[in-house]
């Protein structure tokens, strides 16, 4: 990994305005365990190219791994409007929201509403949102019984 770090630094020096070079360097830093630096570099890549969904989704995943759920929710929320039929975006959004609620309250208010929200989404003909909300409920073991009826 040390060689990868040196190479990513060289790429960053050759192309300092490239979001891809920042993303590559962030990935190497993340693998080396330097999470805060990795997040800074990925945020910089996102500033350079704000409409890239992959940078946004990767940053959301990393923030959730660090249990920084409020930042993750703010970061992924715009993607639900830009791409409402993408299951992956909805899953990340709902997991970040569920994690945020779970972190604030041991029982999590979100779990009590998960099934009702899935029902409304399905009735509004937004199947991606309904499936994602149901799957997000399954991500937390204590919510399993509350979302059982949501998947059809």
Q: What is the pLDDT of residues 10-41, one digit of tens each?
A: 999 899 899 999 999 999 999 999 999 999 99
pLDDT over 70 percentage in the chain:
66
Better-predicted residue by pLDDT, 83 or 152: 83
Residues 130/121, Cβ–Cβ less than 8 Å: yes
Residues 24/10, Cβ–Cβ less than 8 Å: no
CA distances to 30, 46, 93 from 13, in Å:
19, 18, 34
Nearest-angstrom CA–CA distance, 53 and 60: 10
| Structure letter (DSSP) for residue 103 | H
What crossing angle do the helices spanning 109-123 and 127-138 adopt, rounded to 10°? 160
Q: What is the pLDDT of residues 67-101, one digit of tens each?
A: 888 899 999 998 888 888 888 888 888 888 888 77
Q: How many CA atoms lie within 13 A of 79 on its CB side?
A: 25
Specify the 3-state DSSP secondary structure of 9: helix
pLDDT of residue 99: 80
């Amino acid at each position: 990994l040390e060689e990868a770090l040196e190479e990513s630094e060289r790429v960053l020096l050759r192309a300092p305005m490239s979001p891809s070079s920042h993303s590559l360097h962030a990935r190497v830093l993340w693998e080396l365990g330097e999470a805060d630096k990795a997040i800074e570099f990925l945020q910089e890549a996102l500033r350079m190219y704000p409409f890239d969904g992959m940078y946004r989704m990767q940053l959301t995943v990393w923030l959730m791994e660090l249990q920084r759920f409020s930042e993750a929710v703010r970061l992924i929320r715009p993607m639900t409007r830009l791409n409402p039929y993408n299951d992956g975006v909805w899953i990340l959004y709902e997991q970040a929201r569920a994690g945020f609620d779970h972190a604030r309250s041991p029982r999590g208010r979100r779990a009590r509403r998960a099934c009702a929200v899935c029902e409304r989404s399905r009735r509004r003909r937004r199947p991606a949102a309904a499936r994602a909300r149901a799957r997000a409920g399954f991500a937390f073991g204590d919510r399993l019984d509350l979302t059982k009826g949501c998947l059809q």
